[in-house]
Every structure is written in structure tokens, then in C-alpha cells.
Amino acid sequence: MSFSDTDFLDRVNWSEHPLVAAVAQDHESGKVLMLAWMNREALAETVRTGEAVYWSRSRKRLWRKGEESGHVQKVREIRLDCDSDALVLQVEQVGGIACHTGRERCFYRRLEDGQWVETDAVLKDPGTIYKG
Amino acid sequence: MSFSDTDFLDRVNWSEHPLVAAVAQDHESGKVLMLAWMNREALAETVRTGEAVYWSRSRKRLWRKGEESGHVQKVREIRLDCDSDALVLQVEQVGGIACHTGRERCFYRRLEDGQWVETDAVLKDPGTIYKG
């Protein structure tokens, strides 16, 4: 990218929190699919490629969403919040599965009468999603 | 709360991250209004009162959303993600303003051709929202 192209990256408040929260929302249904993290490089790569790239806190490396599963997220829109430290992505979820458990979304549990109740079915056996 | 009532709190992964991200989504429009943080007490208070209570990272104290502005969030649903460290709240946003800038949502900037562009109007002058 040229110098001027990185201006939008400079406007994110990385200094206070090197990782910002990124919410992925299905661009059609409006369902919140997952919440992940981005550092500056992840956001730059997301914009450059048009597909969601996060920072994996557990693996401590860039995580190209769908790199193993094929369940990539095509990014339709990116929004930044008032404090410049949170993002919302409108995505097209390839395969219809965002969660590593094989469900549509990671938020598959709802609080009902003081208990977390699973409301979403497993659409695909994770064993068949992740071969490695 | 009685002992058994706190079981749902124990199932959130506070140990790794004492603050979990909480996404507030408008229960009707599906718009993501804001992203804030909860510690265990904030989640307990949210459930107890039925209104969103966050942990303010800047003020380092519980933040009863709307305590100054009156723009409280009535919580219709709470979801937990697969890693048990992120929440999505379906809320009814009283006053129709979630953002301290007087806008409907904090995510009022959209990335367009490499620039963050304000897409949402200020609905109410913040000076008239916050008297203190």
C-alpha cells in the first residue's frame, strides 16, 4: 500500500489496545456470527484481500478466517466505533458456518432462566471441517 | 442471588480474561449499537436488573448504561460464544441513542475508499444529554 492508503489504519486506536475487537455480522440475516481480534496488520490484510483476517490470541499469529475450513468471510462493509477501538464487519459467510464447532455462529447459547441453553444445531461435524 | 443462580456466571471464562467483550445489538433493527466490557459483577447486575451494566475500562468502575443520559438498554436476550468469553445482548435502546456522541450507534463510521466516513447523524447534542 502507498503511504496515503494507510491513513485509515492510523485512525484506529492501536496505541491503547494493540488488539481491537472485531464483530462479524451476517450481511443478510444481521446475526452476529463471531467476535474476534485484529491488530493493525490483520485489518490491513482484511482490506487488501476483501476477506476477514484476524489475530488469533491463542495461536499468536494472523488467522486468515477459513484458511483450514474454507469458511472464509467475504467482507461487505467495515465500521469503526466512536472510541476507534472496535470494528463491525458485514460479511458473507461462505459455507454458512462461522463457528469452529460447525455451527452457523459462535453465539449458539442463550441465557434462559439462569442457564446457558444451546439453541443452534451443529450443521457440520467439526471432524470433517478440520482435517489437520 | 442464591448459590445455584450463579452457575451461569461460573461458565463464563473470566479466568483468562477478567473482562469479556459484550456486543449490544438493537433487538428490532439488528444494528450493532456498541461494544463494551463486562466483568462478572457487570453480567450479574445486568441479569438481575434486566438493564445493561458494563465495566468502564476508562473509569474503572461499573457503568450502568444510561445512568447519566437516561439512555438505558433493556435486555431482551443474552448469548454466550463458543469460547465463553464474548457476549451478545439483544437490547431495546431507550431514547434511540446508544452513543455518547448523540448518535444511534457507536459504529457511525464506514470505511469507503480507504477513508472512515461518518454515515450517521447526531440525533441529540451531547451537551444536552450529559448535564454533569
Residue pLDDT, tens place only, A56-68: 999 999 999 999 9
From chain B, the residues in CB contact with A81 under 8 A are 34-35, 106-109
Interchain CB distance below 8 Å, B80 and A109: yes
The tens digit of pLDDT for each residue in B74-125 reads 999 999 999 999 999 999 999 999 999 999 999 999 999 999 999 999 999 9
Strands B20-26 and B32-38: antiparallel
What's the Cα-to-Cα distance from A118 to each of A85, A96, B27, rounded to whole Å? Answer: 30, 18, 19
Q: Is the pLDDT of residue A1 over 70?
A: no
The tens digit of pLDDT for each residue in B47-71 reads 999 999 999 999 999 999 999 999 9
Which of B49, B124, B56 is CA-nearest to residue B91?
A: B49
Sign of CA pseudo-dihedral A108, B15, B23, A79: negative
Q: For position A16, what pLDDT does the model report?
A: 87
> At A3, is the pLDDT very low, low, confident or very high (cuts 50, 70, 90)?
very low
Strands A109-112 and A115-118: antiparallel
**pTM for the predicted model, two decimal places:** 0.94
Q: Which three cell numbers stand for residue B103?
A: 448518535
Compute the 3-state secondary structure of chain B and give helix, strand, coil in percent, each to the nearest 5: 20, 35, 45
Interchain CB distance below 8 Å, A101 and B107: no
B110, amino acid identity: R
Q: What are residue A61's phi and psi, to 5 degrees?
A: -160, 165
Residue labelled with grid coordinates 490491513: A44
Q: For position B3, what pLDDT does the model report?
A: 45
From chain A, the residues in CB contact with B113 under 8 A are none
Length of chain A: 132
The whole-number average pLDDT for the span A66-79 is 96
- Nearest-angstrom CA–CA distance, A81 and A67: 28
Q: How many angstroms away from the CA of B61 is the closest CA of chain A? A: 18
Q: For position A132, what pLDDT does the model report?
A: 58
Q: For position A130, what pLDDT does the model report?
A: 80
Interchain CB distance below 8 Å, B111 and A79: yes
